[in-house]
Amino acid sequence: MSILLPTNLQKCPSPSLSLSPSPPIHSPSPSSAFSYLGTRRRCLRFVTSSVASLQSSVANGSAPAAVVVERGQIRLGLPSKGRMAADAIDLLKDCQLFVKQVNPRQYVAQIPQLPNTEVWFQRPKDIVRKLLSGDLDLGIVGLDTLSDLGGHQESVISIWYPLPPSFFHSHEAATATTMSILLPTNLQQCPSPSLSLSPSPPIHSPSPSSAFSFLGTRRRCLRFVTSSVASLQQPSVANGSAPAAVVVERDQIRLGLPSKGRMAADAIDLLKDCQLFVKQVNPRQYVAQIPQLPDTEVWFQRPKDIVRKLLSGDLDLGIVGLDTLSEYGQGDEDLIVVHEALNFGDCHLSIAIPNYGIFENINSLKELAEMPQWSEERPLRVATGFTYLGPKFMKENGIKHVAFSTADGALEAAPAMGIADAILDLVSSGTTLKENNLKEIEGGVVLESQAVLVASRRALTDRKGALNTVHEILERLEAHLKADGQFTVVANMRGNSAEEVAERVLSQTSLSGLQGPTISPVYCKQDGQVSIDYYAIVICVPKKALYESVKQLRAVGGSGGDEDLIIVHEALNFGDCHLSIALPNYGIFENIKSLKELAQMPQWSEERPLRVATGFTYLGPKFMKENGIQHVAFSTADGALEAAPAMGIADAILDLVSSGTTLKENNLKEIEGGVVLESQAVLVASRRALTDRKGALNTVHEILERLEAHLKADGQFTVVANMRGNSAEEVAERVLSQPSLSGLQGPTISPVYCKQDGQVSIDYYAIVICVPKKALYESVKQLRAVGGSGVLVSPLTYIFDEDTPRWGQLLTNLKL
């Protein structure tokens, strides 16, 4: 095995390192070798380890002693994600060792320059554990991880050289964490005469007189270390008992949210959709506020810590996955699921096995359990981070001879590494399993999970204000989640009575709404008289049935007149700009203000034409010809045309302009009459495709309808108000007396029913009108002026016509 180092390593002042062909590397003396140690030292550490024993507390007992498995490949463990992972790969790349990973979801890679070496991507702590268990041979981890999990180091040899500053992203950042490369103890058998390893005493406190005192407190260096690890003790999460919950006296209700990852973003987005805005002053702070809930604090924590702190009384509410709640809550009665389906974080906890070897034909949990390979001496080995749910599931299904090993992170690599026969892990799409040659099995799903809102029973009963806070959060959540994916569809339909219209609407299966359609008369004024020719139909439909509902409404006579079928949502246009001629605002053009003045300038002739730089070599000449302007020469150009006049290669430019800022900053100006074209984004199609390609017209029809409905609704608002009156006709008279309240075809006026003294009565009428944004405030004022109250305004999403006018124009153009 070779370790590649920069050639300038020979310049290292360390007396302990020589790169001459033959002299061996000597061990530093105990009084000098470790004086470099400081709380802020950054270094790279090569470690060899001889494992005496490993004691790891897991769900059902002890981890097996380290065994060196016979295999042809050397295994190098690298961090699977984060800054450490990127830096490790960059370091190897700088050493001309290129890590080739076919797919980022796979946890095994190759280094072509080291054909006998495999790279395994693991969490740093799992690299240390698997070095101890013999499943990895080498590894790159932080010294903090190694020190925390590697136990007592009995022998160490250190050889140093300064690393180039470019290896580190920050010269000034200080940290006690270092990166280590772990090597096996058999490195002592290395045949190279230039490298020998002999034991050295344990790490001592630095001595001021040490040989390495030249190393400053911020020296970056490379360290070769051999270590013998006696033992590793890790507390069991599954079997560790949490302290009894105590309701501490405090004024604030504490809500725990995940601190990072997709679950964290989705939780904040959900609260935002419920109009609960999490205000975090600094993303590094772990406490935030929700202004809409002034008595509530948000605490960002790891999901498993949210559950633990709910049990200990440090949190009152939390949003976590059901899997995390079940694993770390372990059925504790103090935890109450307030809302069981927040519609994000969907996944399931499932057993997965290899799709090759002895498992190739195993397709169910029953078949897996009945395999003759498993016995008390050789149980089915399952790697998992769920050391409570896993054994519980196996016990409930009567499956014996199973041993669970504690693991987190990239479990998918465990079967290929030979450290487990199966894994129990969370699965969402299943893609990562497939790419690591694993498969789920029938009956192997332990738990279906998604995000839940959970609370502490003791907090709800004992903490002042907790129930009120939960009530408000729950109401907002329920309201949002029920409305999610639902659309309000409004259409006008001509009819003789509301009952007749109701018969026609209810004849269609998609038009029943939640409880039934709301049908109200639409009032209009004809020849000075208020009359009813149309009825407004309002239904609520799910998104997946939206287009079908629109088609069925049209089938029974639903229309929008000019623009009448409405769905509530916002929309924007885009790509607005114009193609325009621009001139310098100095020199001979200083007083030129119009296209006419430009054309009449005496400077232009057949020999010396007006030179225009443009990328529009068809529209430019066409525009000049249509305006009768002669003596113009266009030059083809793209990119930063604004520089052409200053460079002397053009007199003017013809280019797209949006705000005009770029022109001004380059001392250019537009001129009157110089706009060639007003432009925005368009949908364009091939005539031949529309006439010859099967299905093309139907596709264009649907796209065109959706576009028309969306763009017509852009900038339109629904205004709803209540008005006291003796009859709908009287209210209609008052509303229609105002010019801004006519709506699209007229206001919809419906009675508002209430109960007084045990009798149903009508004192108010609801007025619904559709108004453009520019007339919105004026309409609200006019509604109030005629007695309207409780005015509500909602933006629109779509307005469907009886059929899209542009569709008819397209058919005419195609002569169909």
- Residue 248 contacts residue 309 (beta carbons within 8 Å): no
- pLDDT at residue 131 in the model: 80
Task: Return d(Cα 156, Cα 34) in angstroms, integer.
Answer: 10
Q: Residue 186 pLDDT more than 80?
A: no
Q: What is the pLDDT of residues 49-71, one digit of tens each?
A: 333 333 333 333 334 444 445 66
- pLDDT at residue 150 in the model: 58
- pLDDT at residue 245 in the model: 53
78-87, 153-162, 368-377, range with the lowest pLDDT:
153-162
Task: Return d(Cα 356, Cα 582) in angstroms, integer.
Answer: 70
Region 176-184 average pLDDT: 40
Q: Residue 31 pLDDT more than 60?
A: no
- pLDDT at residue 408 in the model: 62
Region 707-725 average pLDDT: 82
Question: Domain 347-449: what homologous superfamily?
Answer: Periplasmic binding protein-like II (3.40.190.10)
Residue 680 half-sphere exposure toward CB, CA atoms < 13 A: 4
Hey, what are 167's tokens? 């290896």
Domain boundaries defined on the chain: 7-229, 253-345+452-482, 347-449, 577-679, 712-800
159-163, 312-316, 578-582, 708-712, range with the lowest pLDDT:
159-163
Q: Residue 210 pLDDT more than 80?
A: no
Query: Which class for 610: exposed (0-12), middle (13-18), buried (19 or more C-beta within 10 A)?
Result: buried
pLDDT band, residue 173 (cuts 50/70/90): very low
- pLDDT at residue 148 in the model: 61
Three-class SS of residue 381?
strand
> Is the pTM for the entire model greater than 0.95?
no
Which of 126-140, 453-467, 519-533, 761-775 has the largest mean confidence? Answer: 453-467
Q: For all residues of the chain together, what is the average pLDDT?
A: 74
Q: What percent of the chain has pLDDT over 90?
A: 28
Query: What is the architecture of the domain spanning 253-345+452-482?
Result: 3-Layer(aba) Sandwich (3.40)
CB neighbour burial string for 408-420, b if at least 16 within 10 angstroms, e if fewer = ebbbbbbbbbebb
Region 629-657 average pLDDT: 85
Q: Which of 541, 540, 522, 539 is nearest to 531 (CA)?
A: 522
pLDDT band, residue 644 (cuts 50/70/90): confident
Name residues whose C-beta falls within 8 Å of residue 297's C-beta, 6 or more positions apart in sequence.
252, 253, 254, 255, 287, 288, 289
Region 194-221 average pLDDT: 35
Q: Which residue has the tokens 């790509």?
A: 575
Region 336-345 average pLDDT: 93
Q: What is the pLDDT of residues 386-422, one digit of tens each?
A: 999 999 999 999 888 999 988 766 788 889 888 899 9
pLDDT band, residue 10 (cuts 50/70/90): very low
* Angle at which helices 262-273 and 466-483 cross, to 10°: 90
Three-class SS of residue 718?
strand
Task: Return d(Cα 784, Cα 782) in angstroms, integer.
Answer: 5
- pLDDT at residue 147 in the model: 64
* E strand or H helix at 263: helix 262-273
Beta bridge partners of 670: 582
Q: Residue 22 pLDDT more than 60?
A: no
Residue 725 half-sphere exposure toward CB, CA atoms < 13 A: 23
- pLDDT at residue 730 in the model: 87
Q: What is the pLDDT of residues 412-434, one digit of tens each?
A: 888 988 889 999 999 998 888 99
- pLDDT at residue 618 in the model: 75
Q: Residue 275 pLDDT more than 50?
A: yes
Q: Residue 188 pLDDT more than 50?
A: no
Query: What is the architecture of the domain spanning 577-679?
Result: 3-Layer(aba) Sandwich (3.40)
Domain 712-800 CATH (choose: 1.10.357.10, 3.40.50.2300, 3.30.930.10, 3.30.70.120):
3.30.70.120
Q: Residue 45 pLDDT more than 70?
A: no
Q: Which of 473, 455, 463 is nearest to 334 (CA)?
A: 455
CATH of the domain spanning 7-229: 3.40.190.10
Domain 712-800 in the same topology as domain 7-229: no
- pLDDT at residue 392 in the model: 94
- pLDDT at residue 679 in the model: 83
288-302, 510-524, 564-578, range with the lowest pLDDT:
564-578
DSSP secondary structure code for residue 11 in this structure:
G
